[in-house]
Structures are given as C-alpha cells and as structure tokens.
C-alpha cells in the first residue's frame, strides 16, 4: 500500500507517444517496449516469481503449517534455510508456498482492474461530453478515496476473505489510475488524423476502437497493468499483515503477520521478518523496472540517446538544455566530413 | 473561478459517494446485515455490540432502505457515528476525536516534509540528468517498492531493538500525563521521530521520481530554452522556468496520490502502535468493531478531501491559467 | 586553370571577403550529430556560413534539412541529443578579437547571450513561460544583463519595447495565455530586442500565424531593422518570402549549404538544381508568371546518405560523377557571376571532376541563366 504512482509523465504528455501503430502492423512491433533493457530485466525477475508460484508448494521442503518441524525460533541452517518461527514452522517453506497467493492475487486483480480500466477509460475518451464527465468523475472519486480503509471495510463485511475475494476487492478499488491514463491517451488518439480518417470513411465505432485505437494503447495498458499489479501485491501483503486476509492462507504478508504478532523483533528473529520484505521489494522493483522501460518508450524525453550514462561521462558529454554538448577537444575543422 | 467551482462540485460528489458507499457496503450482503456480521464473527459479539449494530444500521425499527439512508445522513450531521464495540460504550466520534490529532500531526508533517524534500531532490535530479546524480534513481526505486510497514519493522529492529536509541512505539512515555510540559512535548517528539522518518523515507521516493520525470519533460519545453538563450542565471532558469512549471502536475499528482500515501501511513501507525487513526483501525479489525471501521473510513476520506481542496487552492495560486475568467 | 584560381575555389573565406562589410558571425566547418552512440546521425556536415553586419541572411530548405539545427548549434542552444562534433563559431565584437562561441565557458556564454545574439523561436505559443506575466519575462532578461538598473527603469524599458512592436504597454500585466498568437510573437520580438543585440535569429517566426498577421509582423521586423541596424538570420521554408526580405540567401539540403548567393541572384539566376527546383515549387509574388513544378522524391534519410551528392537521386541534371564525388562549395562555372556566390554542384566543379579523372561536363542552360 505504499506506491505513489510515479508515472505522472505519462498523463501530462498525451502527445508524447510518437510511435503510432497502424492497424494491420505486424504484432511484433506492438510490444517493442519490452525490448528495453530495464523492461527485460524486470520481466526476467517476474518470470522467476511466476515459476515459483507454480512450483513453490511442490518444492517446499516442509509443510509450512506443520508445527515443530524444527526447534522453536531456530536460526537459519542447512535444514531450515531461513530458520523457524515461534512454534517451529519452516519459514522458507512458508515463503515458497506463499508466493502463489501473492502472485495469484496480484495477477488476477491486475487483469480484472485493467479490463475495467480499458472499458471505462476508452469509453470515456471516445464518448466525450457528458458521458466522459461522468466516467471521469467516477474514476477520480475512486482515486481520491483512500483505498486501504475502503478495502478493509469491504473485506470485513463479506463472508469469506479468500484470495479470489481479495483480488476482486483490489480490482474494484485499483482500476481508476489506469482508466485515467487510458482516457487521456484515447482523447489524444481520437484527434489524430488516422482515426479521423477512419471515422470520415464511415468505419464502425467498434472497428475504430478495436483496430485503430487499442493497438496504440498497448504501452499504456501494459503500464497500467503493471502499476495495478504493484498496487495489488502491496495491498495484499498489507491486508495479510494486518490480519484482514485469512491468516491461514500462506502469503508473504501472513509470514510478517505471525512475525509481528509474536515479538519477532524483540526476540531478534531477523530471518523471520527480513526475507519476506526483501521478496516484496524485489518483486516491486521488477515491476517498477518494467514500467520504467515502458515510460521511456512512451515518453522519449526520458531516454538518453545512444550512449550509456557512464560512457557519456567518460567522453565528457553532458546532455543539457541550453548548453549543447560538444565533444571533448572539439576539432576546429572537420576531417572526414567531405 | 470556474476551475474552483468545478473542483468543489467534485468534492461534494466524492463526499456523497463516500458516505453512500459507507452506508451500502454492509447492506449489500444478502439478508440481515447484523445477522451476517454476527455469523461472520461466530458469536464473538456480545449483546451490547449486537444492539449497537441494529441501532447503527437503523434496523431496530422496521423502516425502508430509503428511510434508513435519510436517517443515516441525519445521524452523520449530528456527528453520530454509532457506538464503538471495542471501546464500548464510547461513541465512535469520541474515539476519532482523541486519535485524529495524532495522525494529523504525524502523517501531516511527515507528508509535507516528504513532498517538499522529494520535490526539491527531484528538481535537482531532473536538472542534472546524465550526471552522477542519476545514481540516486535506483535507490529511490528500491524504497518505492518496499511496503511502508516493512520499512517500519526494519527501522524498529535497527533503532529501537538493536541500538535502543528510540522508543519502539506509542505516542508518548506512558509515565507522563498529557500536558504542555517540556517533558511531555519532548517525549511526543521523541516517539514521533522514528515513525515520521520512516514515513518520509518510504514515501519520498515517489515524489522524487515524479518530480524528476516532470523536470525532464518540462526542460525540453521551448520556454526553458528561451530562458537559457536570454542568459539568465542557472538558478533562475532551473527554479523560475523549469521547476516552477514542473511543480504543477506534481501538485495535482499530490492530490490524487494522497489516498495511496495515507493508506500506507495508516499501516505505519499500526507497526509503531502510534495512537492515531491507523492504530485504531488496526484495533477495530482485531475487535471486529464495524462501526469504528466505518467512522474511520469516513474521517480519513474527508481529511483527504480537505487536503485535496488545499492542493487545489495551491494549484490555483501557482497556475494563472486556472484563474482565467470564462 | 591557374593555381591562384584553384586556391580561390578551396578558400571560401577568401572568396567571400567583401571589402566593405564586416562579418559579425562566422560559422566554420560546423558539424552536428544527433545521438551520442554509434547510431548517431550526422545532421550538419561541415557548414561554413558568414553573417555580415546589418545584413538579412535567409536560410531556406525543406524541413529536416538542418536549417534550425544550424542556428541552434551555432548558439549552443540545440537540445539533447544534439552534439557539436567539430567546427567553430566566431562572434566578432564591435571592438577586439573574435570569440569562439563553441569554446566559451558557461559563464562567458551566459553573459554574451542575448547581448550579442537574440533569437525568436518557431512556436510563440511555447516560447513564453505560461506562469509568469509578460512584463516579468521582459524585465528578468534586462535584470540579468544590467544588474545595476532599477526596477522602475526595467519596467519603463519593457513598456517601451511593447510599444515598439505595436502592443499596448498595459499588456505588461498580462499572462501569455491572455494574448493572441500574433501578440505573443510580437512580445517575443520585443524581448529579443530588449538588449539591442547585433544579431537577431528568427526561426520561422511567422509560420504559425495567419497571412495578414505574417505580413504585419514581417514589415515590423524590417522596419525595426532599418531603425536599429541589427543583422538578421531568417529561417523559413518559404523561399518567396526570403526573396522579398533577404539580402542574401543560403539554401540548405541534407545538412549542407548547397547554394549561397545574393537574394536576387538566387531568384533570377539559380545555379544549383535544388534551388532551381525550390523556385519552381511556388508561384512568384511579383513579376511574370512561370511554370510551377515540384521536386520529385523526398529528402534523404540522414542516417543513410549516399556516397556522392545527396541530391543525386532527385536531380534532373544528374550524371555519373554525382554518385561518387561529394560536391563542395565552389564558384559557379558561369562567366560573369558575382565573385562572392557559391554553389555545391559537380556541374559547376570542373576541378573536382578533373581530380577524379573524369571528363568535364557542360552546365545545363537552366543552371546558367544570366
């Protein structure tokens, strides 16, 4: 529950997406943003977590809920890679098994929220007028209302707090940011010539939306998917930590819940509360990296052309506004230009 | 002033939406909401609590949903948010009144420090892009990726358990009585230091990155180049032209992100057992205190709306285009 | 051909030296790249250009030919990923030795900016800081360069400047969004003249405006120039406009100057096939009508320029040498041409052909009008 959405650059420069994909372009081109180095690193880490989510419960050395598989509060050792908790359960197994819960909630919430965001954002952008006003107001209301207390309120009222419920609640509260971005981008696309041309030639609205607009929103959709997943992972962890989610369903937040509730801090059992947080941080970083890559793709002003920063410093080039970089020991006459 | 009028309408609608959501959530569950809550908490509610729930939901008398809704508004305007179970028979409004100042003091001050500090660092990073200053970006990314509460746990482990330089939690030293004495105020500040610093540390990253990206975007505007062409001093171009414009989306971003930030800081209060709204929410969850949860949701939403209105006023002061008479 | 003649051809500076006119800005061998790595594009490839005192120099060419890049690089205002790769830009002060702008320190550059050379940018919409009043943007320039002036003096000067460009002095209290496009561009001109610079660079200053406004602003600029005597570099893709207002015109193509001559010469006696094509792509404003035609093809991809002449693919007078020899600026091979005019075309460059062992060719009639 912490991330301030950092991709403000996306919304204020709706005209910043220079790469417009025409209908019928090779699908390969639509996902060029994932070729960015940052995105690739982030996606690789994400892949590892997905694999862990699938195989975690099978490769876990112990049953995470089984009491007394080791001595109480044992330090990390060969038998218990990340030690044991206050009743002798294996922390490593708890984290491995818990990965599935985190990833399922994260992905599920992100998928549902992104679909909602597309529906609301693209519709608002295309409708314009009163319909747009209403839909924008609804998304802004959901943005302004603090999500966590609302989620707690809903989770406390519903009968079960299974992963599915949590994912649904998170999707219901987390879609608004993406809708806002998509609306802005749709608005700017709608005014572009090729959409105007499609309109003028009498293409049906659904065709314009499907073939002319959506392909050009891929980067923003991907970015909002990633942001929502970050939000969902952090929220799920928070809910588990404060005991709103079912504390017997293992997830990283659940591990922290038990640690916090049983004086892990005072007892100095660092292996109990540090690894879970590190996992969340690594997953969060991976998601941020993917989004940075997409941001740099969408907003070329964030990119440094051609050279790695370190290499540029070595060559004495500092890209600045108002003082154009010159190569070090600027030659007075061009040698090989003619 | 059209801008402000539009915003005020928006806030009124949002406040209405929050109250209505608050009213409907427990009633959306099929059947008797009180019975549903009783079932959910499997006999952990005593008869007082059940009676309080019936009164809160307006189910002590048989009335229509519509009448219940109006009654609910009537109660709200009288400041009646029902009775808290966990502090029975203290009214929810009184519980909130005693804890709100703590939250406003801690979260408010920490957020202001975080926004101002983060924006300044972001201005510098955006301006000095392509230099060694860029190395701060991955560090801030890390801090924006960890949950607030975990950073709080680590902070306690480091500064309160391992080095014992600061208290592990609470709002003040339990041996002191609340007063304006130096000892008490000092104790309050001492207890606020660690949670405050942790909130700043975990939330500042978002402001830094947001401002940096805005600076990068704004510095490629023509007027910044014109300012450089005019031979103005570096400071003047950086603050008067680039940052002065980059701050605008930052202010509107602040308004929209406040909900996220506040949510994170609430959990921080739980970790530090800080006697504010967030800690009360934690206790309400533990004590299945539904009226208190509802009251907290309302009061947090309204506080966020007030902060939003302040941000809008600042925005209007900063951007002359919003002051245009239509 | 004599050795002296030969030297003449390869020393454009000597050719250009005009006894009566002193240069104010001298660009020598300026090369600019976009991007820093291996994929960088050479946007300017060794440009030589001299601006003389009080002269109106027009810079024309299709979009993307490097005309804006040239002036922004020469003032070091080119935005990243622009990179100045080589060359020098000499500013000749009223008294004293010329200074190389490309090698000035930040502080020196800052101090000389706007004092010596002021600019009017392409889009007046975005040239003004939207959150400051017009007056403040006029006075902060003066304050930066004349720190001893008082606030009242600066305000007075700002009012005077606005009046000079035909705007009511009360507008000093206006924000940019309260002004029309034409008014904003006038404010930018007023701002550019605040310190009475010797050089005024105008990058398509009227493109975004309607025709009537364009005319008014142009007349204003010309009148102010007559009064204040600054030199002007005027960038536009509209050659007909330049013919009216410029003393001299430099035509650019693919990051190079291909023709540099007096305005009237360019108009009546174009020597480069590209200039000739440009002249036929719009109707003349005055004088006899002539046949309209465009230039076939489109500007070359700056990342993949051919080995020889970059215009070869679109040129109606192309011959085999154009594919292998890169033409440089030389005097046209038309007897009786003004000694200061230059053209980069192999049709005129017999020496280059001789050096490559190729037979000489005739100058086509269209490129040898007298």
**Closest Cα in chain B, distance from residue A199 (Å):** 32
Q: What is the mean pLDDT of chain B?
A: 83
> Which of A304, A324, A338 is opposite residue C46, by nearest beta carbon?
A338
Chain B residues close to C177, C-beta within 8 Å:
320-321, 324
CB pairs under 8 A between B and C: 81
Q: In Å, how far are A129, A169, B253, B259, C98 from B248, measured between CA atoms? A: 25, 32, 9, 19, 43
User: Is the predicted pLDDT of residue B28 greater than 80, yes or no?
Assistant: no
**Strand C82-91 versus strand C199-203 pairing type:** unpaired
- List the single residue in B with minimal CA-CA distance to A136: B10
User: Is the predicted pLDDT of residue B218 greater than 60, yes or no?
Assistant: yes
* Four-residue CA torsion sign, A129, A130, A133, A139: negative
- Whether B222 sits inside 8 A of C110 (CB atoms) is no
From CA C41, how far away is CA C56, in angstroms rounded?
30
Where b means 16+ CB within 10 Å and e means fewer, C182-202 reads: bbbbbbbbbbbbbbebbbbbb
- List the single residue in A with minimal CA-CA distance to B233: A322
Structure tokens of C22? 């002193």
Task: Look at residue A6 and give its three-state secondary structure.
Answer: coil
User: Is the predicted pLDDT of residue C168 greater than 90, yes or no?
Assistant: yes
From CA B325, how far away is CA A329, in angstroms rounded?
55
- Whether B319 sits inside 8 A of C131 (CB atoms) is yes
Q: B182-219 and B244-271 are packed helices; what angle lies between their axes, rounded to 10 degrees? A: 140
List Cβ neighbours of B251 (8 Å cut-off, separation of 6 or more).
B311, B314, B315, B318
From CA C183, how far away is CA C176, in angstroms rounded?
9
Task: Look at residue C17 and give its three-state secondary structure.
Answer: coil
Residue B239 is classified by DSSP as I
- List the single residue in A with minimal CA-CA distance to C77: A322
Chain C residues close to B241, C-beta within 8 Å:
129
From CA C251, how far away is CA C265, in angstroms rounded?
12
From CA C313, how far away is CA C178, in angstroms rounded?
48
- The Cβ-side half-sphere exposure at B8, using a 13 Å CA radius, reads 7
Chain C residues close to A307, C-beta within 8 Å:
36-37
CB proximity A134 to B under 8 Å: no
* Cβ C24 vs Cβ C91: under 8 Å: yes
* DSSP string for C219-268: HHHHHHHHHH--EEEEEES-HHHHHHH-SEEEEEETTEEEEEEEHHHHHH
More confident of the two residues B284 and C159: C159
From CA B210, how far away is CA A8, in angstroms rounded?
6
Task: Look at residue C32 and give its three-state secondary structure.
Answer: strand
- List the single residue in C with minimal CA-CA distance to A308: C37
Q: What is the pLDDT of residue C152?
A: 94
Instruction: Name which of B213, B258, B292, B294 to mutate to probe chain A: the one with the most chain A Cβ atoms within 10 A of its Cβ.
Output: B213
Give strand pairing partners of C235. Answer: C59, C203
List Cβ neighbours of A76 (8 Å cut-off, separation of 6 or more).
A82, A83, A271
Q: What is the pLDDT of residue A15?
A: 36
Chain A residues close to B219, C-beta within 8 Å:
321
Short-list C120, B220, C180, CA closest to A15: B220
Q: What is the pLDDT of residue C124?
A: 65
List Cβ neighbours of B94 (8 Å cut-off, separation of 6 or more).
none
Q: What is the pLDDT of residue A61?
A: 82
From CA A4, how far away is CA B140, in angstroms rounded?
12
Short-list B102, B172, B169, CA closest to A260: B169
Q: What is the mean pLDDT of residues B25-34?
A: 67
Q: Which of A33-37, A321-325, B243-247, C296-300 has the highest mean pLDDT?
A: B243-247
The residue to which tokens 């460059």 are assigned? C349
H or E, element range at C85: strand C82-91
User: Is the predicted pLDDT of residue C296 greater than 80, yes or no?
Assistant: no
Q: What is the pLDDT of residue A25?
A: 41
**Closest Cα in chain C, distance from residue A306 (Å):** 4
H or E, element range at B136: helix B136-145
- List the single residue in A with minimal CA-CA distance to C102: A326
* Cβ C48 vs Cβ C238: under 8 Å: no
CB proximity A61 to B under 8 Å: no
Q: What is the pLDDT of residue C12?
A: 39
Which other chains touch chain A, taking contact as 3+ CB pairs less than 8 Å apart? B, C
Q: What is the pLDDT of residue C21?
A: 76
Question: What angle is formed at CA B259 by the lines to CA B258 and CA B265, rounded to 5 degrees?
Answer: 85
Q: What is the pLDDT of residue B164?
A: 80
The residue to which tokens 């605040």 are assigned? C194
pTM: 0.81
> Which of B130, B206, B270 is opposite residue A6, by nearest beta carbon?
B206
Chain B residues close to A158, C-beta within 8 Å:
29
Give strand pairing partners of C41. Answer: C34
From CA B163, how far away is CA B156, in angstroms rounded?
9
- The Cβ-side half-sphere exposure at C239, using a 13 Å CA radius, reads 28
Q: What is the pLDDT of residue A33?
A: 59
From CA C321, how far away is CA C324, in angstroms rounded?
6
Neighbours of A27 (CB within 10 A): 10
**Closest Cα in chain B, distance from residue A53 (Å):** 20
The residue to which tokens 């970089």 are assigned? A325
Q: What is the mean pLDDT of residues B179-201?
A: 86
Q: In Å, how far are B252, B322, C83, C123 from B221, measured between CA atoms? A: 20, 20, 19, 11
Least confident of A240-254, A302-316, B126-140, B245-259: A302-316
Q: What is the pLDDT of residue A302?
A: 65
Structure tokens of C76? 């070091």
> Which of C38, C78, C103 is opposite residue A330, by nearest beta carbon?
C103
> Which of B231, B248, B318 is opposite residue C145, by nearest beta carbon?
B231
- Whether C114 sits inside 8 A of B229 (CB atoms) is yes
> Which of A13, A153, A285 is opposite residue B142, by nearest beta carbon?
A285
Q: What is the mean pLDDT of residues C290-299?
A: 71
Q: Convert the pLDDT of each residue in C182-202 to its tens digit.
A: 889 889 999 999 999 999 999
User: Is the predicted pLDDT of residue C2 greater than 50, yes or no?
Assistant: no
Structure tokens of C268? 């009546």
Q: Convert the pLDDT of each residue in B32-67 to its tens digit.
A: 666 666 666 666 667 777 777 777 666 666 667 788
> Which of A153, A273, A320 is opposite residue B25, by nearest beta carbon?
A153
Q: Convert the pLDDT of each residue in C225-279 to its tens digit.
A: 888 889 999 998 888 888 888 999 999 999 899 999 999 888 888 999 998 888 8
Structure tokens of C334? 């038309």
Quick one: pLDDT band at residue B156, thresholds 50, 70, 90?
A: confident
Structure tokens of A139? 């998304």
Q: Which of A162-176, B109-123, B152-166, B206-220 has the highest mean pLDDT?
A: B109-123
From CA B95, how far away is CA B78, in angstroms rounded?
16
Q: Convert the pLDDT of each residue in C32-67 to its tens digit.
A: 988 877 777 888 988 999 999 989 999 998 888 888
From CA C6, how far away is CA C9, in angstroms rounded?
5
* DSSP string for A193-208: HHHHHHHHTT--HHHI
Cα distance between the two ends of chain B: 8
Quick one: pLDDT band at residue C3, thresholds 50, 70, 90?
A: very low
Which other chains touch chain C, taking contact as 3+ CB pairs less than 8 Å apart? A, B
CB pairs under 8 A between A and B: 241
* Cβ A189 vs Cβ A211: under 8 Å: no
Q: Checking phi first, is residue B79 left (phi over 0); if not, alpha (psi -120 to 50) or beta? A: left
Short-list C173, C96, C91, CA closest to C138: C173
- Whether A315 sits inside 8 A of C36 (CB atoms) is yes
Q: What are phi and psi of C275, to 5 degrees?
A: -60, -40
- Whether C36 sits inside 8 A of A307 (CB atoms) is yes
Structure tokens of A286? 């991976």
pLDDT tens, per residue, chain A with 338 residues: 444 343 333 333 333 333 444 444 444 445 555 567 778 888 999 999 999 989 888 888 888 887 777 777 778 887 887 888 877 788 888 888 889 989 999 999 999 999 999 999 888 888 878 888 888 888 888 888 888 888 888 887 776 778 888 898 889 888 988 898 888 888 888 777 777 777 777 777 777 777 777 777 888 888 889 888 988 998 899 888 888 877 778 889 888 888 888 887 778 788 888 888 899 989 998 998 888 888 777 766 666 555 566 677 777 777 788 888 888 677 776 444 43
């Amino acid at each position: 529950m912490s991330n301030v959405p950092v991709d403000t650059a996306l919304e204020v420069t709706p005209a910043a997406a220079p790469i417009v994909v025409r209908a019928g372009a090779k699908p390969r081109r639509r996902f060029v943003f994932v070729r960015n180095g940052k995105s690739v690193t982030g996606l690789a880490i994400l892949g590892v977590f997905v694999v862990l989510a699938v195989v975690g419960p099978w490769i876990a050395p112990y049953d995470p809920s089984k009491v007394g598989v080791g001595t109480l509060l044992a330090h990390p050792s060969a038998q218990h890679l990340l030690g044991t908790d206050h009743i002798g359960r294996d922390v490593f197994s708890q984290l491995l098994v818990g990965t599935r819960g985190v990833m399922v909630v994260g992905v599920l919430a992100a998928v549902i929220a992104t679909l909602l965001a597309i529906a609301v954002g693209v519709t608002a952008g295309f409708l314009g007028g009163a319909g747009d006003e209403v839909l924008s107001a609804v998304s802004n209301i959901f943005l302004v209302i603090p999500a966590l207390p609302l989620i707690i309120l809903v989770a406390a009222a519903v009968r079960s707090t299974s992963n599915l419920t949590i994912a649904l609640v998170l999707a219901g509260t987390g879609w608004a940011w993406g809708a806002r971005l998509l609306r802005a981008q749709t608005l700017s696309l709608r005014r572009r010539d090729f959409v105007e041309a499609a309109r003028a030639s009498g293409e049906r609205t659904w065709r314009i939306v499907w073939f002319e607009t959506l392909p050009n929103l891929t980067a923003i959709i991907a970015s909002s998917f990633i942001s929502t997943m970050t939000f969902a992972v952090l929220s799920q962890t928070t809910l588990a930590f404060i005991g709103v989610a079912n504390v017997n369903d293992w997830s990283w937040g659940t591990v922290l819940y038990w640690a916090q509730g049983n004086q892990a801090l005072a007892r100095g059992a660092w292996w109990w509360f540090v690894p879970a947080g590190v996992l969340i941080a690594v997953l969060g970083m991976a998601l941020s990296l993917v989004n940075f890559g997409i941001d740099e793709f969408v907003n070329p002003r964030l990119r440094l052309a051609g050279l790695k920063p370190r290499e540029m410093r070595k060559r004495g080039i500092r890209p600045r506004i108002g003082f154009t970089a010159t190569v070090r020991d600027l030659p007075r006459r061009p040698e090989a230009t003619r | 002033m059209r801008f402000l009028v539009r915003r005020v309408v928006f806030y009124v609608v949002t406040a209405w939406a929050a109250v209505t959501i608050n009213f409907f959530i427990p009633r959306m569950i099929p059947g008797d909401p009180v019975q549903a809550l009783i079932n959910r908490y499997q006999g952990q509610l005593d008869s007082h609590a059940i009676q309080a729930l019936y009164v809160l939901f307006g189910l002590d008398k048989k009335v229509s949903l519509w009448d219940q809704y109006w009654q609910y508004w009537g109660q709200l305007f009288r400041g009646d948010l029902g009775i808290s179970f966990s502090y029975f028979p203290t009214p929810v409004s009184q519980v909130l009144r005693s804890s709100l100042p703590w939250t406003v003091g801690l979260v408010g001050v920490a957020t202001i420090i975080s926004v101002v500090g983060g924006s300044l660092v972001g201005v510098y990073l955006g301006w000095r892009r392509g230099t060694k200053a860029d190395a701060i970006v991955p560090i801030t990314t890390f801090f924006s990726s960890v949950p607030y509460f975990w950073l709080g746990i680590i902070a306690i482990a480091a500064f309160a358990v391992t080095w014992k330089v600061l208290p592990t939690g609470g709002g003040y030293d339990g041996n002191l009585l609340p007063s304006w004495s130096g000892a008490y105020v000092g104790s309050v500040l001492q207890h606020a230091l660690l949670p405050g610093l942790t909130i700043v540390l975990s939330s500042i990253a978002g402001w830094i990155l947001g401002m940096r990206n805005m600076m990068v975007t704004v510095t490629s505007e023509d007027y910044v180049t014109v300012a450089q062409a005019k031979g103005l001093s570096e400071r003047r171009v950086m603050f008067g032209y680039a940052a002065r414009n980059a701050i605008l989306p930052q202010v509107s971003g602040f308004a929209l992100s406040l909900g996220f930030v506040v949510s994170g800081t609430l959990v921080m209060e739980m970790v530090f057992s800080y006697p504010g709204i967030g800690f009360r929410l934690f206790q309400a969850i533990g004590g299945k205190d539904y009226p208190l949860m509802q009251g907290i949701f309302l009061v947090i939403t309204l506080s966020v709306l007030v902060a939003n209105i302040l941000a809008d006023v600042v925005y209007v002061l900063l951007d002359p285009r919003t002051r245009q008479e239509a | 051909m004599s050795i002296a003649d030969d030297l003449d051809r390869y020393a454009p500076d000597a050719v250009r030296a005009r006894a009566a006119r002193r240069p104010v800005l001298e660009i020598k061998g300026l090369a600019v790249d976009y991007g820093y790595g291996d994929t960088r594009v050479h946007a300017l490839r060794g440009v030589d250009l001299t601006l003389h005192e009080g002269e109106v120099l027009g810079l024309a060419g299709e979009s993307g030919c490097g005309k804006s890049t040239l002036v922004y690089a020469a003032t070091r205002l080119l935005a990243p990923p622009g990179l100045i790769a080589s060359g020098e830009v000499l500013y000749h002060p009223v008294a004293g030795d010329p200074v190389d702008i490309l090698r000035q320190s930040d502080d020196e550059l800052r101090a000389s900016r706007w004092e010596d050379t002021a600019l009017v940018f392409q889009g007046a919409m975005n040239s003004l800081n939207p959150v400051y009043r017009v007056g403040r943007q006029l006075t902060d320039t003066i304050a930066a360069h004349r720190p001893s002036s008082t606030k009242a003096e600066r305000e007075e000067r700002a009012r005077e400047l606005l009046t000079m460009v035909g705007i009511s002095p009360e507008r000093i209290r206006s924000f940019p969004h309260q002004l029309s496009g034409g008014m904003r561009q006038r404010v930018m001109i007023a701002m550019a003249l605040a310190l009475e610079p010797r050089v005024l660079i105008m990058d398509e200053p009227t493109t975004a405006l309607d025709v009537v406004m364009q005319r008014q602003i142009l007349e204003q600029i010309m009148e102010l120039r007559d009064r204040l005597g600054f030199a002007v570099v005027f960038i536009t893709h509209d050659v007909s406009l330049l013919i009216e207002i410029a003393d001299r015109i430099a035509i650019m193509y693919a990051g190079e100057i291909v023709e540099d001559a007096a305005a009237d010469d360019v108009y009546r006696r174009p020597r480069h096939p590209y200039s000739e094509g440009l002249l036929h792509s719009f109707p003349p404003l005055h004088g006899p009508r002539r046949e309209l035609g465009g230039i076939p093809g489109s500007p070359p991809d700056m990342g993949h320029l051919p080995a020889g002449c970059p215009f070869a693919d679109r040129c109606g007078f192309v011959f085999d040498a154009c594919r292998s020899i890169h033409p440089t600026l030389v005097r046209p091979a038309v007897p009786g041409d003004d000694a200061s005019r230059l053209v980069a075309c192999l049709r005129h460059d017999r020496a280059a052909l001789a050096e490559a062992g190729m037979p000489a060719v005739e100058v086509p009639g269209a490129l040898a009008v007298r």
